[in-house]
Amino acid sequence: MNYIVFDLEWNQSPHGKSRENPRLPFEIIEIGAVKLDHERNIVDTWQKVIRPTVYKTLNYRTREIVHIDKKELDAGTYFPDAVREFLTWAGHDSIFCTWGTVDLPELQRNMKFYNILKLLKGPMHYYDVQKLFAVQYEDMNSRKSLEYGIDYLKLEKQEAFHRALVDAKYTAQIFQTIDLDVMLAYDSIDVYQNPKSKTEEIHMVYNGYTKYISREFHDKEAAMRDPEVLGSYCCICGKKARKRMHWFSVNARNYYCVAECKDHGLLKGKIRMKHADSGKVYIEKTIKISSQPEVESIRAKREELRARRRKKRRETAAQS
């Protein structure tokens, strides 16, 4: 088993949104990758410039960021050939690692455009090094730039950022500093190819929380009627926990609840609605260990929401 730390550079329509191809808003122009063995020693690298077929000139903003000239692009590899070679080089039992959450979806969107998405089965586990960096060095929820991470760790900046192999190397260097237990406790799941059937649904148990990714439902209401979606199970023992506060929403996408496990105490649940490509919806549910003060603040949040609506109504009623 190897780790494949990769990075992409991409381009977009040079003439604005009105003249973009809606199936491919971003076109990959370079793939760079570093292979690490199971002890995270660097053992190989791989890099290819991709010859664009959709946007043949660079968007002015892309030109400012990515230092690739037209000659290099014109001499590049046709995307499907490059991806086939990349995946073969990566090997089937490897785990991908990227800085942030966007590279894997972008890779798959480009693959879908060229009708070769079947070469990469999803959903898949991967390591988001940007997230691991936040867990180990920051406040857990921050998302910093790659350069911030390199500066923070005082690693040498020999090569300029924003070439795929360079950024992949920097990401790999940061990845090497992440404690094994942090890494194992915080893997990520890419759901560009979200679960379609009950058997494809994902149930993950982490240190202190669980994650569930559902199959597709016709709409939000159908999802919020499903017993599996609504259930709150203890993230330690897996037993059904008793609801202390029913699912309530702050907006159209997020639902919260509080439950209590007989043996392991207070739990907080969060449901996030996601839109699948097909127009249907699926949900991501996390259940975490909570505490009395946190439950109080959730309750306060709900009360505040109600109070604000009440106040608003009073004001509008007073005006008319």
CB of 112 to DNA, least distance (A): 12
Q: Toward DNA, which CB reaches closer, 186 or 261?
A: 186
The alpha carbon dihedral of 33, 50, 69, 58 has a sign of negative
Looking at residues 54 to 83 of the shown chain, list those that interact with DNA (rule: CB under 7 A): 59, 61-62, 65-66
What does the block give as tokens for 191? 């759901």
Looking at residues 29 to 48 of the shown chain, list those that interact with DNA (rule: CB under 7 A): none
Residues in CB range of 129: below 8 A, 6 or more apart: 5, 97, 98, 99, 149, 171, 174, 175, 178
Site size with DNA, rule: CB under 7 A? 50
Q: Toward DNA, which CB reaches closer, 25 or 264?
A: 25
Q: C-alpha 217: how far from its chain's center?
A: 21
Looking at residues 1 to 20 of the shown chain, list those that interact with DNA (rule: CB under 7 A): 7-10, 12-13, 16-17, 20
* Residues 5/171, Cβ–Cβ less than 8 Å: yes
CB of 221 to DNA, least distance (A): 6
Q: Toward DNA, which CB reaches closer, 17 or 198?
A: 17
Applying CB under 7 A, among 63, 248, 260, 294 the residue interacting with DNA is 248
* Residues 258/267, Cβ–Cβ less than 8 Å: yes
Q: CA-CA distance, 212 to 269, in Å (whole number)?
A: 11
Site string (197-236) toward DNA, x via CB under 7 A: -----------------------xx--x------------
* Residues 269/256, Cβ–Cβ less than 8 Å: yes
- Report if residue 310 touches DNA, rule: CB under 7 A: yes
**Helix or strand or coil: residue 227?**
helix
Counting every residue, how long is the chain?
Answer: 320
What does the block give as tokens for 196? 């379609």
Amino acid at 96: F
CB of 263 to DNA, least distance (A): 28
Q: Toward DNA, which CB reaches closer, 44 or 277?
A: 277
Q: Toward DNA, which CB reaches closer, 37 or 303?
A: 303
Q: Toward DNA, which CB reaches closer, 264 or 286?
A: 286
CA angle, 194 then 198 then 203, to 5° = 70
What does the block give as tokens for 287? 């259940």
Please report, as ranges, the residues that interact with DNA according to CB under 7 A.
7-10, 12-13, 16-17, 20, 25-26, 59, 61-62, 65-66, 99-102, 105, 130, 143-146, 148, 162, 167, 220-221, 224, 247-252, 254, 272, 274, 302, 306, 308-310, 312-314, 317
